[in-house]
A and B are shown apart, each in its own frame.
Chain A
Amino acid sequence: MKNFFLACALTPLFTLSAQQSPVLQDYKPVTTDRLKNPEPENWLMIRRTWDGQGYSPLDKITPANVTRLQPAWVFSTGVSSGHESAPLVNDGVMFVSTPGNQVLAIDAKTGLLLWRYRRPLPDDVVLMHPTSRGVALYGDNVYFCSGDATLIAINAKTGKEVWATKTAANKQGYYMSLAPQVADGKILIGTSGGEWGIRGFVAAFDPETGKELWRTYTVPAPGEVGSESWPKGDQWKTGGGSIWVTGNYDPDTNLAYWGVGNGGPWMGDQRPGDNHYTSSTIAIDAETGQIKGHYQYHPNDSWDWDEVSPPILVDYNRNGKTVKGLIDVARDGYLWFLERTDGQINFVEGKPYVKQNVFKSLDPKTGRPEVDPEHKPGTGKTVSFCPSLWGGKNWPPVAFSPKTRLLYIPANENFCSTSSGRETEYEAGQVYMGAQTVFTTVPGADHFGEVQAWNVDTGKRVWTHNYTDSPNWGPMLATAGGLVFSGGTNDRKFHAFDAATGKLLWEFPTNSGILGQPTSFMIDGKQYIAVESGWGVDSRSLQANLNRIFPGKYPEIPEGGAIWVFELK
């Protein structure tokens, strides 16, 4: 009873203190104009800008002073699993999501908790990747995709739920791990679940009410454009095409560019045809949801190469002309230079950025690959292929610096897979893959992870940093100060590279391995770098696989999440 009274006495005090926090009291609503032209000191969406460049215009931290970078504060998230979110900052308030369906609001300068939102998940949830890749800000709300395929609006000032909209049936394998996207005044989301026989979609919701405004499936129904690329029958209902990374957006054309996952079940020979829009990028009219254009990186996927990372929007030079460009670093091991228009997406150039033994060549006009059947898994057929099913690059986003004109890629080299398929029957709520895949490495490989830098105007690689004994799972951040930041390695370190030369200038070992998307913000004239640390999900799986191949050399990485913020001291 005494504790009860104590709790009653303390509760209003904490609430009051949260309400009175000046950073929340003066909370500045996020408008379309602010998203289009964010203040240099703020980071208002996961890649900071709609073009997906992951670039901060802040330049206080430079190659000359980065060795003075030290922790300003660290915050334990209280949960484990892979921490893949981007700490957003709006005028001194940080919003960051974590595994365990949690969103935190933190005073970005002091590291003090402002509020904590948690949404418990059912014990029997389908959630193959228990992570969150971030939140979105719009108006006075924070938008969050709950693991059980529910879109949530949270009041940014109070942390209270404003509305919750169930977007699909989790029991049938639909789940969510991505950050929502704000585009055309709407909240856009996609869905995971390609391994459970879902039918992928992008959908838009009213930011005030949570009402669904449109829904566009990534697998067309019979009679719809693209349906001719699927077999006759009901396979389109379970065709996969999941979307688990947030798209990018061109406000000039109102087109949102989203990447689409592989088809399901995994073996392409069980769904003859190109299978639009799997393993593609789609250009969606944000007003109506209509697909105005698409580019399929490889038809009829059999390798689990989800192409969910959207292309970044960057204009580049080719043959003396400026191309309004899209650049995608695909899981299939190719770097794709494309052209965006007010609709269709045009092929410009494609080239491998890691060892790739599946494409014999690309059609010079369309970029369509000629696939080597010796390296295409099938039903009752076991083959090896490189890169591995995790791809030359998995989901971690690239960054681009308009200053250096370099594209920074977190790549994995010397990884391959051996895969075999079998007939499989769809059963709602059970994995629908029909594949067994075993991870392998190239014999004699001298390194695995890489940070690559490519000049977008010449299409050539400028520098590469190799991680000898680690894969690279690190999302990239580029800054105007001439630095590139990224974690991603199994030594738990956060790294800073000279953006121009690739020289490793600074490292810091955190509590766990870093899968988070680094961001940068400024308060009172001081630049900070923020990142989540917390190893898990597929990075743990790959580590376990490496340890199987090299017993004892790749032990488990300490897990448990924290948010780190660094400053010059």
Chain B
Amino acid sequence: MNSCNCRRRDILKAGLALGFATPLLAQDASKPKEGDFLVKTTDTTATPLTPADIKTGSRQIMAWAMDPADKTIRKGSRLNRILLIRLDAAKLTPETKSRAADGVVAYSAICTHAGCEVTEWVPEKQLLFCPCHESTFDPADAAKVIDGPAVKMLPALPLGLADGKLIVLKPFTAPIVFETQ
């Protein structure tokens, strides 16, 4: 049911079928969709992540969504970069809890201000921190803006579990955009 721009992936599949040389891990720019696995951006083995891979209360890890069937990694656009963080489930707001899987929550890693990747973590306050212009977001409460120049919250990516692995339950809750003018 989910529509996507799968042309590039189809071409790669066609290339595979015809025996062309193709990268080991196919990639495309389509957005994360229902049922996708999540893999670390630095993981060359493309191993689906489980909640146990993510330490509670520690700095976020960066991930891509991966098609569970053909293992295409959706990293063709930087806008698809996802941050995963695991929090004490009791501290999540009801809205965020409904999107969490075993305490793991996922958001777009692209800061809604200037589009930097939100790579930093303030452990004492349990807040996400963008190193570029010091915007902070509360991952326990829908990644709402706490401080800084960002205006919009980070779009969330609702998660679930399938056979113990983290999966995408629904697409991003909002378009991934930042201020370019």
Contact = CB atoms under 8 A, between A and B. Distances in A.
B133 to A, nearest CB: 4
**Central interface residue in A101, A129, A425, A540, by most chain B CB within 10 Å:** A540
A101 B177 CA distance: 17
B77 interface: yes
A425 B41 CA distance: 11
A130 B181 contact: yes
B181 A431 contact: no
A130 B132 CA distance: 13
B134 A439 contact: yes
B131 interface: yes
Interface stretch (B17-25, B44-52, B111-119): B111-119
A126 B180 contact: no
A121 B147 CA distance: 28
Interface in B3-59: 41-42
A537 B133 CA distance: 9
Chain B binding surface SS class: loop
A433 B181 contact: no
A548 interface: yes
B148 interface: yes
Nearest to B136: A548
B174 interface: no
Contact of B114 (A100, A123, A127, A424): A127
Interface in A419-450: 424-425, 427, 429-431, 433, 435-439
Given A127-B180, A431-B117, A436-B122, A544 B148 contact: yes
A129 B132 CA distance: 10
B159 to A, nearest CB: 22
Nearest to B78: A124
Contact of A548 (B41, B119, B147, B179): B147
B62 interface: yes
A253 interface: no
A72 interface: no
Contact of A425 (B42, B81, B147): B42
A516 B62 CA distance: 37
Nearest to A147: B180
Given A430-B62, A431-B132, A433-B131, A545 B148 contact: yes
Interface string A57-101: 000000000000000000000011100000000000000001111
Interface string B123-163: 00000010111110000000000011100000000000000
A164 interface: no
A430 B114 contact: no
A127 B148 contact: no
B73 interface: no
B102 interface: no
Interface in A531-545: 536-538, 540-541, 543-545
Contact of B147 (A126, A429, A544): A544
A274 B79 CA distance: 36
A125 B115 CA distance: 8
A99 B181 CA distance: 5
A130 B42 contact: no
Given A100-B180, A100-B181, A125-B180, A429 B132 contact: no
B132 A121 contact: no
Contacts of A430: 41, 62, 78, 81, 117, 119
A534 B134 CA distance: 21
B78 A128 contact: no
A80 B120 CA distance: 27
B131 A128 contact: no
**Central interface residue in B42, B79, B116, by most chain A CB within 10 Å:** B116
A426 to B, nearest CB: 10
B79 A81 contact: no
A538 B179 contact: no
A540 B145 CA distance: 15
A130 B116 CA distance: 12
A28 interface: no
A435 B79 CA distance: 22
B126 to A, nearest CB: 14
A171 B116 contact: no
Contacts of A438: 134
A483 to B, nearest CB: 32
A427 B180 CA distance: 23
**Central interface residue in A100, A128, A439, A545, by most chain B CB within 10 Å:** A128
Interface string B69-86: 000000001110100000
B116 A541 contact: no
Nearest to B77: A124
B181 A80 contact: yes
A128 B114 contact: yes
Contacts of A439: 134
B177 A128 contact: no
Contact of B148 (A80, A195, A436, A541): A541
Contacts of A123: 77, 79, 177
Contact of B179 (A81, A124, A171, A195): A81
B115 A540 contact: no
Contacts of A81: 179-181
27 contacts: A80-B179, A81-B179, A98-B181, A99-B181, A101-B181, A123-B77, A124-B79, A125-B115, A127-B114, A129-B114, A130-B114, A195-B132, A425-B42, A429-B78, A430-B117, A431-B116, A431-B131, A433-B119, A436-B131, A438-B134, A541-B113, A541-B148, A543-B149, A544-B134, A545-B134, A548-B147, A548-B148
Interface of A: 79-81, 98-101, 121, 123-130, 147, 171, 195, 424-425, 427, 429-431, 433, 435-439, 536-538, 540-541, 543-545, 548
Across chains A and B, which 10 residue pairs bring their CB atoms closest together, nearest first?
A: A100-B181, A541-B133, A541-B149, A99-B181, A79-B181, A540-B149, A124-B77, A544-B149, A433-B131, A124-B79
Given A147-B180, A430-B41, 6 more contacts: A80-B181, A81-B180, A99-B180, A127-B115, A541-B133, A544-B148
